[in-house]
């Protein structure tokens, strides 16, 4: 039983970490929009594949 509780706690902590990271990104985007600088919204997260 202790193993299950330990695993659930670990998963919960991971979800909180992901949530905190998501909130940080969202807050950054809101600040960019409010400042009139929406450049981050137009920047791809990953480089686009080059076509020959």
pLDDT band at residue 7 using 50, 70 and 90 as cut-offs:
low
- What b/e sequence results for 14-46 when a residue is b if at least 16 CB atoms lie within 10 Å of its CB, and e otherwise? eeeeeeeeeeeeeeeeeeeeeeeeeeeeeeeee
pLDDT tens figures, 25-50: 888 888 888 887 766 555 555 555 55
pTM for this prediction: 0.50
């Amino acid at each position: 039983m202790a193993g299950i509780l330990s695993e659930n706690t670990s998963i919960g902590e991971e979800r909180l970490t992901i949530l905190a990271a998501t909130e940080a990104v969202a807050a950054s985007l809101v600040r960019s929009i409010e400042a009139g600088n929406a450049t981050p919204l137009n920047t791809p997260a990953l480089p686009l594949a080059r076509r020959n």
